[in-house]
């Protein structure tokens, strides 16, 4: 892993999904094979493979403390094009420090991660009424996880983190995106640990090769996503969990 410390020029960026996004890191050590954010390589001039570099924007808390005074309040997505609790966060604590600033100023926040490191900040999260924490979980099958998300924490660890957060009264959701083979096993595991579920299909562009390599061409076809999402929606709704399908 190539790690570099850099200085960012700004931190609160406009987002198409929420009002703003904060990305304390460029790159992501979770190295998901389907990652939609891999375009950041070209965008930031990186020659290394996605998942093999991370730039640490060491000045983001200071920038945020300044920018938050100038900008109109809005919901902030943490993060968007990296995992805010990837391995580097353990040492640098940039996400944790940004959260403190956002919540001191009572800004609404949506965290999205695959890492139980978010539990480190549970005391900060408990103080806010307007925060939600989502875990991306794409399958209940750990073999699939290892193929598609080689650098990300095991599924059980994520489910357990959701359980802890939910039990503390923090709003939680799971993002089953992209649906991978084995996703149906998540229904029982997640039903009592989340407030709602989001489901999305695969970004073909980045995942086609890995499907071919693993002889799973069937799982990148349209009917797979439609059938799986319908089935997941039905089963979660039967258990009283709201579901939004994003495709």
Residue 37 contacts ligand SF4 per CB under 6 A = yes
99 or 152: CB nearest ligand SF4: 152
Provide φ and ψ at 154, rounded to 5°: -60, 155
Residues 54/28, Cβ–Cβ less than 8 Å: yes
Closest distance to ligand SF4 from the beta carbon of 242 (Å): 23
Closest distance to ligand SF4 from the beta carbon of 244 (Å): 19
Q: Give the distance, in angstroms, between the CA of residue 202 and the centroid of all CA atoms in the same chain.
A: 15
| Residues in 100-159 at the binding interface with ligand SF4, rule: CB under 6 A | 114, 152
Closest distance to ligand SF4 from the beta carbon of 96 (Å): 18
Residue 31 contacts ligand SF4 per CB under 6 A = yes
Q: CA nearest 151: which of 82, 57, 58? A: 82
68 or 132: CB nearest ligand SF4: 132
Residues 2/53, Cβ–Cβ less than 8 Å: yes
88 or 99: CB nearest ligand SF4: 88
81 or 140: CB nearest ligand SF4: 81
Query: Facing residues of 57 across strands?
Result: 6
- List the alpha helices (DSSP H) in 24-170: 40-43, 60-70, 88-92, 94-104, 122-126, 142-148, 155-167
Residue 179 contacts ligand SF4 per CB under 6 A = no
**C-alpha to C-alpha distance for 174 and 159, rounded to whole angstroms:** 9
Q: Going residue by residue from 74 to 93, which x/- string records binding to ligand SF4, judged by CB under 6 A?
A: --------xx----------
Element (H, E) at 192: none
Interface residue with ligand SF4, options 8, 12, 21, 32 (CB under 6 A): 32
Residues that bind ligand SF4 (CB under 6 A): 28, 30-32, 35, 37, 82-83, 114, 152
């Amino acid at each position: 892993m190539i790690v570099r410390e850099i200085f960012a020029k700004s931190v609160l960026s406009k987002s198409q999904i929420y009002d703003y996004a904060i990305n304390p890191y460029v790159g992501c050590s979770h190295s998901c094979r389907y990652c939609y954010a891999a375009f950041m390589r070209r965008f930031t001039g990186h020659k290394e493979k996605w998942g093999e570099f991370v730039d640490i924007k060491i000045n983001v808390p200071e920038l945020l403390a300044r920018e938050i005074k100038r900008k109109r309040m809005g919901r902030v997505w943490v993060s968007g094009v990296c995992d805010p609790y990837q391995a580097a966060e353990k040492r640098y604590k940039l996400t944790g420090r940004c959260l403190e600033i956002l919540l001191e100023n009572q800004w609404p926040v949506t965290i999205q991660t695959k890492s139980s490191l978010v539990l480190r900040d549970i005391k900060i999260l408990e103080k806010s009424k307007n925060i939600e924490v989502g875990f991306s979980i794409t399958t209940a099958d750990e073999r699939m996880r290892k193929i598609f998300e080689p650098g990300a924490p095991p599924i059980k660890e994520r489910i357990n983190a959701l359980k802890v957060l939910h039990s503390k009264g923090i709003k939680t959701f799971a993002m089953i995106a992209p649906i991978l083979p084995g996703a149906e096993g998540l229904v029982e595991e997640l039903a009592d640990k989340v407030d709602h579920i989001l489901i999305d299909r695969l970004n073909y562009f980045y995942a086609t090769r890995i499907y071919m390599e693993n002889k799973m061409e069937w799982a990148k076809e349209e009917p797979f996503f439609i059938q799986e999402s319908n089935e997941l929606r039905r089963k979660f709704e039967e258990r009283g969990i709201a579901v939004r399908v994003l495709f």
